[in-house]
Amino acid sequence: MFSKEERKRLRQDFWISFGKSFPKKWILYNTKIKGLVFKFHFDTKSALVALDLEGDLEKRIDHWETLLTLKSILQENYLPNVIFEEIYHLEDGKEISRIYLPLKQKVSIHNKNTWQDVMVFFYETMIKFEVFFEDYRDIITD
């Protein structure tokens, strides 16, 4: 078991290493669409890349319906195994809508031997998510 400080240091070390290994300015929260954000998630059990719809329920529903119309395009041309979940509960109980792709293999942020696989997965997956977003930004923002 790791102490709280060791867990914090491992998380920091991973993200610093990721930034140095794959330097890129990601869109993440800078989508210019309120409530629509991209996220990387890596913990002791899994890793995933997500497009989250948060905030105002009415806007969340509108964006969700728009993204559903683009689902087949996203799956056929960008991320074949992407998962759509209209109702997704975060660990803190918050309800969002999420489009995400989990890394299939078992990984842990506490295991440095899995870091490289996660970094490559994050980079390759987020690039595809961002290209999709840029290609269809006009439709998504309407």
Q: pLDDT digits over 111-140, tens only?
A: 999 999 999 999 999 999 999 999 999 999
The answer to whether the beta carbons of residues 66 and 84 sit under 8 Å apart is no
Closest by CA to 63, choosing from 31, 94, 28, is 31
pTM attached to this predicted model: 0.93
Nearest to 49 by CA among 20, 9, 22, 69: 22
| pLDDT digit string, tens, across residues 68-108 | 999 999 999 999 999 999 999 998 999 999 999 999 999 99
Of the candidates 94, 99, 119, 96, which has an alpha carbon nearest to the alpha carbon of residue 42?
A: 119
pLDDT in tens, 44-68: 999 999 999 998 899 999 999 999 9
**φ, ψ for residue 19 (rounded to 5)?**
-60, -35
